[in-house]
Amino acid sequence: MTMLTILCYPDKRLRRIAKPVTQFSPKLLRLANDMLYTMYNSRGIGLAATQVNVTKRLIVLDTSGGHEQPLVLVNPQIIKKSGSIAFEEGCLSVPGFCASVQRAAQITVKAQDTNGEPVLFTTDDLQAVCIQHEIDHLNGKLFVDHLTDEQRLAFEAALAAQNMPSQTITPDCPRE
Ligand code: QAP
Ligand code: CO
């Protein structure tokens, strides 16, 4: 397994639109496994290929709270959404900043596995939020693009504080 480098905000490469996966080779499985390894090692629950500088429509996630339910989705698409939920989100590409974001509470996802086999399922709660967050990455979008004016001010302040080397950064969100 290889630990991949995660691009961080404001890296412009996070704004690229990922391309559909057409080749289901062992290379794709290798990339998915390296992404899961990188995600677990960084204490994350989701990671999109865009974040590791690969412009392919591939996301990995595990919202089980352990290392129990890795999920790899290739060419994921949301074909149905309903309801609304506010969740405190963070992002491995925006370390040290969290904010509550509003998204659909329940989604139906159409995707492929690493063999190119179709997968279709409905999910809700944290897993639904995470999939929406990760698909946003494939479209060059970050959770900080969803902030209210007030949240944006807090984000700007956190960024300014981070650029001050003499200052110790107090995290906005609890993490290990
Ligand atoms: C996306 O985010 C997500 O700031 C995945 O210092 C997050 O794994 C979806 C992380 C919340 C739904 C709800 C963030 C790790 C991990 C940090 C992550 C940090 C260390 C973020
Ligand atoms: Co993210």
Per-residue CA distances from 139 to 40, 45, 82 (Å): 23, 19, 21
What span, in angstroms and rounded, lies between the C-alpha atoms of 49 and 76? Answer: 12
- Closest C-alpha residue for ligand 1 atom 5: 46
Q: Is the CB of 87 under 6 A from ligand 1?
A: yes
| Residue 155 contacts residue 162 (beta carbons within 8 Å) | no
The predicted pLDDT at position 163 comes to 73
Q: What is the mean pLDDT of each run of 10 residues along the chain (176 residues)?
A: 97 98 98 98 98 98 93 98 98 97 98 98 98 99 98 96 58 48
| Residue 72 contacts residue 36 (beta carbons within 8 Å) | yes
Go through 114-138 and write b for each residue having 16 or more CB atoms within 10 A of its CB, e for each that does not: beeeeeeeebeebbbbbbbbbbbbb
Backbone phi and psi for residue 125, each to the nearest 5 degrees, phi listed first = 55, -140
Distance from Cα 94 to the centre of ligand 2, integer Å: 7
What span, in angstroms and rounded, lies between the C-alpha atoms of 146 and 67? Answer: 29
The predicted pLDDT at position 164 comes to 59
Sequence-ordered list of residues with C-beta below 8 angstroms from that of 162, at least 6 positions apart, any chain: 96, 169
Q: Which residues surround ligand 2, an ion (CB under 5 A)?
A: 91
Distance from Cα 93 to the centre of ligand 1, integer Å: 8
- Catalytic residue ranges: 134
| Residue 159 contacts residue 142 (beta carbons within 8 Å) | no
The predicted pLDDT at position 169 comes to 43
The predicted pLDDT at position 175 comes to 44
| Residue 48 contacts residue 139 (beta carbons within 8 Å) | no
Distance from Cα 127 to the centre of ligand 1, integer Å: 13
